[in-house]
Structure 1
Amino acid sequence: MAEASFDESFNFKRQVRRSLQPLATMLEGKSPALREQEMSKTFRKRSTNLNVQRSLQILEESIYTPSHIARTARNLRHTTYTPKQVLSGSKFDVSSKFRPTPKKTPQSSFFKSRDNFHTSFTSTSVLLPEEEMAEEITTTNIGLLLEEDPGNSASKGLYLDFKECLQNKTSQDEMFALVQDYETICEDQVTLLKKLVTRASKQEEKCQKTSDVLYLLKEELASWKLLHALYRDKMEMGLEQNTSADIEELMMVDGKRKYYSDKIIIDELFKRDYIIRQGQIVVDWLEHCAREDFDNMAENIKFFSDRAVGWENTLYRLQNKPPVSMGSERPLVDEMDPDAPIRQNKLLDDLDKEDEDRLLHYIFICIRAGQVKRAQEVCRKSGQSWRAATLEGYRLYHDGNFEKPEGEPVQGNAYRDVWKSVCWTMVQDPRIGQYEKAIYGILSGNLRATLPVCKSWLDYVWAYFRAMVDMRVEEEIRAKTKCTRPLVPLPDEYFQKVLTPPKVFQEIEACENVREEAHTWYHVIQKYLILGDTHRLVEMMYEWVRQGKHDKMRVPMHLLRFIVHLVLFFRATHQAMKEELTNSIIEAYIENLITEKHHQLVAHYVSHLPSEAQVYWYAKFLEGITDREEQQQCLSLAEKAGLDIPLITKTVVENIRSHSDINFRSLSYQQQEVTTVTEEDRKKIEAINWLVFDESQRAEAMKQTNAVMRSFIAVKKLEAAREIFEKLPPDSVDVIHRMWHLQTGSADLPVEERNTIREYLCIKAYLDAIDSFNDWFKLNNHGKPTRPSLGSGSTFTEKVAHEHRMKQYEQELERWRHSLNLQTQTTKEHIYNVLLFADGGWMVDQNQNNEMEEDMKDMKRQEQMDGLRGLVLPGLCFLLHNVLHTCQQYIECLRLADIVASEHHKLYQVFRKDELQHLLHLLRESSLSVLDQNCDPLGYELQ
């Protein structure tokens, strides 16, 4: 169908062409070729033959060049473009689809083109051919488009990229190379996101999310470029404003004045005046920011016919004007010089007026992007060479032949003062369009003529700073030049408005059009970068981060990443700012990295905090790491970052075990034993893993294990206590002694370690006693063999079998009694090991450090140990009495009273009144039972 349609169109075109060929031949050469645009109604009535010719041309273009963009006002407004391609981010698979292109190195060349009053700001971007964008979608791109938020998914690698750049460049000499790396990373990512935006255009919500991320990264890229340019200048030129000699001294040779031009004067001004030089850097940066949109527009729009004829429709109408004019016609100019419309107060043809307006708009866009030569080229191609010449009038005059008579061409405008005066006069004329006023206004330093066409905050800053630089340049020229003629004075308004960077931003923020835009995140950052007020900038960024924790206006993660690396740059270059605010910003970023699970990045950024904050944040981070391999990896990263691993791991365990504090004083031995291990208990048990990786931390591991076991024993979670006890390697005591000997060469452990080992052995003795009692209880209650029974009326055979079973029963019963006696003896020994623990008693420190006062943690530990004595020892006494009384060892039960009452062990001190009463009641039962064994109530044999 498509081929048939094409053939029909081609045949129809060929027939029309043959029928109209004579007419086209007759008209050839009489007038310039007309554009493919709509003409005015008056002109259309008298141009039927030209319409036919134009129809031929349009038809031919529709057949042979279907992709041709028609040059109409409508198409101009709706022209679309495809963004150029740059290398993709280094962390994405899609980078393999792009051809590697070497990056250019940014330069700070402030005096390459001083005749143009601005630096040749060199971009780091390297543009690839436009057909790169037509390549097929890669597998990675398809995967990204399937994500809920393609922009964020595609940009996750930025966090690692920035961290690696920051980690690889640490010295102050590498700071600007670091900023350049940041630029490259952002630039590559912006290109990738542009591609995703075009691919996701049919999915409106995803496209919007991706566009939001793209906006953040484009603004970040612009901010890095600004920072790079400003601080590179500070490093190269220094902060002193008067480092170079005065111009008068430089131009004196052997007592005679040497020739110097406007350009030389301004070059010296820029060398010694820091503020004006920084102002010009801002102008260059703003023009560079606008260059992308300019490039896209310039490549996709063709304004005029290829023949360099200005006002072609007006010319045609004048050449073909009928002898008798019609009354309905509007007065058109009858002369074609550039001043004719103003001088005669007459009109151009409608299409020419439309072309003129669009041309002026485009010229302003060129100037806004710093492309004055491009604007002049378009003027010449459009038949307005005179306008191209007028755009040359602002350049500084310089004749190099005075110094080197080698026939060098003269630069700039010797009558620049006259040209500026004319420009200022011209923009006062109400008949001049706003874009034409803005063009000559910005080139001549007329701020009031430029602002009406400024639409964004960046446009306003550009206009103000360009006017500020222009005024300072003009002042210097008029003060230092030795022209042979008096300079033409400029209007008083030119010098009345004294602009400085702070005043510029003050006035811009007062403009209603851009007031809201001026307070956006990135524009505030750019403002303070330009002002060089890092102290106030850090305060503002801190407020954003602080308010973002509570308000809905949460700082985007990419903006937070940019802010953190910005303050780290300030810190590395010794900029004035409050360290506590900087640390708070870094902490906010670390918190977000933890939330977003960027685990491999946390250690490096934690290392930029003070020591105490390092321990706090990395310990908080490690609390959420449960996988053992990942735990080892995080500790390895912490070691590379220079963090205090022993203190951090200790803090991790302390944090985890402090989540549920226990009141030891409110507990009693009567509470029921808890066997269920909760999730919270499991976290405490697993936390000990952090301390067993390194043998040098074994003493701390034992100390923390003791603390957790104290809490478990207090609530009778003996299963959990046994489990965490087994977490500690069995050779830990030997390891502690060995590590101390390796570190100090001494065999005597310090007091704290000796007390830790003693407590560990106390807990071990208690757990062994409980395990032994459980074994006895199981054997006593569930291990006793069952006596066989014989029913009535049994046969002889059944009786014989019963006797055989009885013999087996008696043998098993004897074995059971023997085992029970052995287990009873073992249980009794284990319990006595606790009750009669050597050197001061169970859970009592043998060694006291009298030289140092106990801190709060030691006091809390001592309270817990005392609480455990009161909780455990009475209970063990009751258990031991139960074992002995059940085994009918009544005399042994009565001896327990002597042990409790002994002043050597002072066990009676840990009993409460009700507990002593209960113990006396148990002893009374044993005393009554011993009477049946021919003994007195105290267990002594009767004579």
Structure 2
Amino acid sequence: MERSTSSNSQTTSLKSFLEQGDAPVPRAEDTAKVFKRRSNVHLQKSMQLLNEAVSPLLNRTSRTPRGNLRYFTSVDTPDISEALKFTPRKREQTKNFKQPQPTRSPFSRTMPPFNGENTEMTLGEVQLTQDLTNMTYIDDDDPGKKVSGSLFEEFSEALKRSAAPHQAMNLLQDYKSVCEDQVTMLKKLMNGLVRNESKFNKTLSTYETLKFEKETWTLFHCLYKDRLEMEEKENEYMENDWEGEDNKTLVWALSEQNIVTRLFEKDSVVRQSQLVVDWLETCSDESYYGEKANFFIEQPVAWENTLHNLQKQKQGVKSSMTRCITEMDPDAPCRQKLSPDDLDQEDEKYFLRNLFVLIRAGKLEKAQNLCQACGQPWRAATLEGWRLFHDPNYYNSTNVDDVRDIEGNPQRDIWKSVCWGMANEPSLDQHEKAVYAALSGNLQAVLPVCTSWMDYLWAYFKVMVDTKVEQEVRLLRTVNRKLDSVPQSFEEIELTPHRIFEDIAASIDENVRLESENRYHVIQKYVILGDISALVEVMYNWVQTSKTILPDHLIRLMAHIVLFLRSIGHGCKEDLCEAILEAFVENLIRNKHKDIVAHYVASLSPAAQVQWYATFLEEIEGQEERQKHLQKAEEEGLDVALITKTVVERIRMRDSGSAFPENSLAPDLVITEEDTARINAIDWLIFDEAHRPEALKQANAIMRSFIVVKKHAAARQVFEKLPSDTIDVVYRMWYHQTGSGELLPCDHNAIREYLCTRAYLDAVESFNDWFNLFHKEQPTKPSSVNVGASFTDRVAFEHKMKQFNLEKERWMHNLLVQTKTTRDRIYNVLLFADGGWLVDTVEDPEVDESRQHQMCQLRKLHLPNLCLNLHTVLHSSGLYPEAVQIADVVASELHQLYKNFDKVAMQHLLIQIGRSSSSLLDENKDPLGYDMV
């Protein structure tokens, strides 16, 4: 279609319109409508600046286009067979573009008529904004982070709802919807914040991050829906004979739609490239539509100021416009080498800019309505020429009388040639050239008006699809005429997805090059390329090098990408994927998303599950909360027994390098917070009786660590943490499992150690009680009265002495009882049955060398001290013969206690026994404690 031909009827109608004198009359005398509009615009801008000073609103355009994807339908199953079939249009419809048919190819969507951007908020939106403004988190330092924190739980719920592989598309749709809801909420939240403040900037950063994520999940949905469906049909396509008899018929090749439909069916690269174009168009930023574009409604006519000047000249009024066109047809500026009125030129630029924005967003129907609203229906017609030709009457064999209208443009090759020439015309506005270049595949004419990475990507992929379609049509279409040749530069274009991304990364536009490094764009790049290995490697490198500075939402996105790829069987490089998931689990733990940690830990390898969930549980306090998270672990199938064991081991191994004290029965040290944490760690193992054997072993280990540093009170608290029926439970659980009463060697030895520890703690407590009774509770003898004291004083003294004698007698009795109790309890340790204190009686094939070493050291540390303390008790109580007999106990080969003494300890004990022998000699008794004959 030639441009001059398309405008002849329009020129004739405009001339007759002038002759009739019915041209539009400017409103308010000679004031043009555009002038009034500009005045209103300036006034509105002034009011807006004033309004922003009081209550600023969000009005910032991101570098990367974004948009509402409400009308994006490519996420549904694409029907390639109907990809390029469009509703035929009657002749009267061709003249009137009031209701043009849907124009999207190959995946159409329905758009409402163009009526400009509705910038006013609805009542519900206003209410929502007020509610958000009044929320308590509006005073938070980072309200956006606080509001979007719920995304982690919402993603977890979505993952649980759609865990099956066949629900993968539902899962992606849920991810996208959740992000979209958060983006809407954050946008309204920012309306209540003051611009340029710290909290506004932080919230804006979160808003942009979630916008990128929403677009990424949408890309995943549309591409992987196609890829998964193609995997299922791969064998069918391989067996299909595309060069069969049906495809070689002359009738079949007459339809460009048939040819391109087959191209989309057989060539996954072209089909998915069109999906990328469709996705990029739906992501086009809505902020582009912030200004009213339909500013000619009452009298839709192009160049109204120029028309008004020509009308005045016809009436004999002189005009100052000497360089103005004298005819109103669209080709007049090029033909006459003149221009319209200055105001009309400005309006034209504004109109063309909005027109390109609509084309960029894939809103061709809106673009055509805009052309009509601005008095340029001829331009709306030029936007129709790209449609693929199809005559349905060739394929209608059911009803011969049913004649249908022809679809598409039979001279599309001529139209494309004209558009290509217009795109290379230097005198035309760059946005006008870009409009026709985008429709005809002229890449170099589109790029000058592209300002972002996504704009460049859209231009490249749109041209690549157009090139492939044109090549296929020219190769297979059967026509009775020679097709108009395409420019040489068009034939030389050999774009591939990989080359496209390389060219964009090397763009001369610095902003585009910087955006190419945006992490979300990098993810989108590899998703489009289908290079999963490279995507995983890149995400892994981010985690390894920038884990501490990566946004929380980006880490969440990467983890869910890995989980999605696993679910559909496209996982790779499991060690790298594991590292990404571990980074996300660590992020959840750090940010206190406690309720969902178990769910994501379950996606790790068994060894990592134990380590990470144990790390998480270490910081959990409170019995109810601990039990809740253990229950969640069971629901997710985690090894709770091994996890709780690991938790206790981690806690008890903290600061475990303390040196052995010289005197284990010295006054107890203060119990620190770390000690309390180690004591309470046993709680993890007593929720379930099945874990009681492990609880016993871990309690023994913790008590050993406390006893070695003289923290006997702390060891007693650990002992009391274990239920009193622990030994019975261990036997019962083993019997239920095996039906045998013979325990495992490790369990048998753990019970024996538990009894040894109890005996030792009883001995220590008894000695402490004796020590306090002997040194602190002994009655004090009252002071004697003077010789010349009064009768009253003497009577009072006698009364005090009676009281003293009674208390001393009572004290001596208690001391004797406590002495015997302490003696017996210490002997229970020194003479512990079946081999001695802290000595295993059953050989364990899997011996714990560390435990054996600790018990040996405890014997050498505490048994000599117990002997010394026993001597102190007996000697101080006057039981010298028993004190001397300690030497026989130590020297006995039955118990071999002497093996636990070093030279210094033995010398010290003998010195003390020597004191008792001296006391016996002072009483004229045998020095060794034997009865005299």
TM over 0.5: yes
Is the contact made by 2:356 and 2:431 (CA closer than 8 Å) also made in structure 1?
A: yes
Structure 1 distance, partners of 2:58, 2:234, is 42
Partner of 1:174: 167
State whether residues 593 and 602 of structure 1, in contact with CA within 8 Å, keep that contact through their aligned partners in structure 2. yes
Q: Which amino acid aligns with 1:50?
A: D
The residue type equivalent to 2:105 in the other structure is H
1:455 aligned onto 2:451: yes
Any residues of structure 2 matched to 1:746-825 within 5 Å, and which?
A: 746-791=740-785, 792-794=787-789, 799=794, 802-803=797-798, 805-825=800-820
Aligned equivalents of 1:671, 1:808: Cα separation in 2: 35
TM-score between both structures, scaled by the size of structure 1? 0.86
Shifted more, 786-795 versus 128-137: the winner is 128-137
- Give the corresponding residue for 2:687: 693
Residues 324-333 or 785-794, more deviating: 324-333
Q: Is the 8 A contact 1:692 1:698 kept in 2?
A: yes
Aligned to 1:335: 327
Per-residue deviation, residues 809-853 of structure 1 (Å, max 9, x unmatched): 44443333232222211111100110111111111111112xx34
Are residue 531 (structure 1) and residue 529 (structure 2) matched?
A: yes
Give the equivalent residue in structure 1 for 2:365. Answer: 373
CA distance in 1, matches of 2:132, 2:332: 61
Aligned partner of 1:407 in structure 2 is: 403
Q: Which residue of 1 aligns with 2:30?
A: 50
Q: After TM superposition, give the deviation of residue 613 of structure 1 in Å.
A: 0.6
| Counterpart in the other structure of 2:907 | 917
Tell me what 2:143 maps to: 150
Residue number in structure 1 paired with 2:515 = 517
Instruction: Tell me the residue number matched to 1:442.
Output: 438
Unmatched 5+ residue regions in structure 2?
Answer: 1-19, 60-69, 86-102, 113-117
Q: State the shift of 1:593 in Å.
A: 1.3
Asked if structure 2 preserves the Cα contact closer than 8 Å seen for 1:769 and 1:831, the reply is: yes
Cα pair 2:614 2:644 within 8 Å, conserved = yes
For 1:14-29, list aligned pairs within 5 A: none
Distance (Å, rounded) in 1 between the aligned partners of 2:58 and 2:336? 45
Post-superposition CA distance 1:701-756 (Å, at most 9, x none): 11111111111111111111111111111111111111111222111111001100
CA distance in 2, matches of 1:123, 1:860: 74
Question: Following the alignment from structure 1 to structure 2, what is the Cα–Cα distance between the partners of residues 750 and 309?
Answer: 97
Alignment pair present for 1:118 and 2:105: yes
Residues in 1 aligned to 2:439 and 2:370: alpha-carbon distance in whole angstroms: 18
Provide closer, same or farther for how the CA distance between residues 379 and 76 of structure 1 changes in structure 2, counting only shifts above 3 A.
Answer: farther
Supply the distance in 1 between the matched residues of 2:245 and 2:199 (Cα, whole angstroms): 62
> Does the 8 Å CA contact 1:220/1:562 hold for their aligned counterparts?
yes
Q: For 1:478, which of 474, 477, 480 is the aligned residue?
A: 474
1:732 aligns with 2:722: no
Q: Helix, strand or coil for the counterpart of 1:50? A: coil
Structure 2 vs 1, CA of residues 123 and 173 (structure 1 numbering), >3 Å: closer, same or farther? farther
In structure 2, relative to structure 1, the CA distance for the partners of 1:83 and 1:416 (3 Å cut) is farther
Task: Kindly state the Cα deviation for residue 675 of structure 1 after the two structures are TM-superposed.
Answer: 3.2
Which residue, 136, 160, 184 being the options, matches 1:191? 184
Moved more, 785-794 or 747-756: 785-794
Alignment of 1:843 onto 2:838:
yes
More moved, 304-313 vs 568-577: 304-313
1:564 aligns with 2:551: no
Q: Would the alpha carbon gap of residues 75 and 604 (structure 1) be closer, same or farther in structure 2, given more than 3 Å must change? A: same
Cα deviations across residues 45-68 of structure 1 (Å, max 9, x unaligned)?
Answer: xxxx423x979x969x99xxxxx8
2:76 matched to 1:107? yes
2: CA distance, partners of 1:754 / 1:435: 87
Verify the 8 A CA contact 1:893 1:923 in the aligned structure 2: yes
User: Cα distance, 1:387 vs. partner?
Assistant: 1.3
8 Å contact kept, 1:105–1:124: no
Shift of residue 201 of structure 1?
A: 3.8
State the distance in 1 between where 2:896 and 2:798 align. 54
8 A contact 1:123–1:288 mirrored in 2? no
Contact preservation (8 Å) 1:262, 1:398: yes
Moved more, 262-271 or 302-311: 302-311
C-alpha distance 123-778 of structure 1, shift in aligned 2 (>3 A): farther
Partner amino acid, structure 2, of 1:389: A
Separation in structure 2 between the aligned mates of residue 558 and residue 361 of structure 1, nearest angstrom: 35
- Give how far 1:70 is off: 8.0
Q: In terms of mean alpha carbon deviation, does 428-437 or 640-649 score higher?
A: 428-437
Structure 2 CA distance for aligned equivalents of residues 105 and 429 of structure 1: 35
Instruction: Say if 1:76 and 1:301, in contact at 8 Å, map to a contact too.
Output: no
Percent identity over the alignment? Answer: 45
Q: Secondary structure at the match of 1:321?
A: helix
Indicate the RMSD between aligned Cα atoms, in angstroms: 3.3
| Cα deviation code 1:170-200 (max 9, x no counterpart) | 1101111011111111111111111111221
Equivalent residue, structure 2, for 1:364: 356
Q: 1:714 aligns with which of 691, 708, 723?
A: 708
Instruction: Tell whether the 8 Å contact from 1:505 to 1:527 is kept in structure 2 after alignment.
Output: yes
Question: Structure 1 residues 813, 444: closer, same or farther in 2, change over 3 A?
Answer: same
Separation (CA, whole Å) in 2 of partners of 1:461 and 1:258:
34
Q: Which residue of 2 aligns with 1:937?
A: 927
The verdict on how the C-alpha distance between 1:137 and 1:591 changes in structure 2, with shifts beyond 3 A counting, is same
How many angstroms does 1:69 deviate by?
A: 6.1
Give the Cα separation in 2 of the matches to 1:749 and 1:885: 43
Structure 1 residue 768, shift from structure 2 partner: 0.5
Distance 1:517 1:690, change over 3 A: same
Q: How many angstroms apart in 2 are the aligned matches of 1:608 and 1:672?
A: 50
Q: Distance in 2 between matches of 1:223 and 1:108?
A: 19
**Which of 631, 634, 641 is the aligned partner of 2:626?**
631
The one-letter code matched in structure 2 to 1:477 is V
Distance in 2 between the 1:362 and 1:236 partners? Answer: 37
Supply the distance in 2 between the matched residues of 1:814 and 1:78 (Cα, whole angstroms).
97
Which of 369, 377, 380 is the matching residue for 1:385? 377
- Higher mean C-alpha displacement, 533-542 vs 426-435: 426-435
Matched residue, 2:343: 351
Partners of 1:524 and 1:797 in 2: CA distance: 103
Higher RCO (CA < 8 A, seq sep 6+) = 2
Q: Distance in 1 between matches of 2:344 and 2:47?
A: 17
Aligned residues of 1:673 and 1:716 also touching (Cα < 8 A): yes
How far apart are residue 644 of structure 1 and its match? 0.9
Give the C-alpha shift of residue 486 in structure 1. Answer: 1.4
- Distance (whole Å) between structure 2 residues aligned to residue 417 and residue 583 of structure 1: 53
- Structure-1 separation of matches of 2:172 and 2:331: 51
Q: Does 1:490 align with 2:490?
A: no
Offset at 1:78? 13
Show the counterpart of 1:867: 857
Unaligned runs of 5+ in 1: 1-27, 37-48, 63-67, 85-100
Q: State the distance in 2 between where 1:377 and 1:33 align.
A: 24
Q: Cα offset for 1:422?
A: 1.7
Would the alpha carbon gap of residues 276 and 136 (structure 1) be closer, same or farther in structure 2, given more than 3 Å must change? closer
Distance 1:749 1:916, change over 3 A: same
Check whether the contact 2:664–2:862 (CA below 8 A) recurs between aligned residues. Answer: no
Whether contact under 8 Å (1:79, 1:301) holds in the other structure is no
Bigger mean CA offset, 372-381 vs 794-803: 794-803
Deviation at 1:71, TM superposition (A): 11
Q: TM-score, normalised by structure 2?
A: 0.87
Task: Select 2:213's aligned residue among 213, 217, 220.
Answer: 220
Give how far 1:280 is off: 0.4
- Structure 1 residue 339 displacement after superposition: 1.4
Partner of residue 97, structure 2? none
How many pairs are equivalent?
A: 868
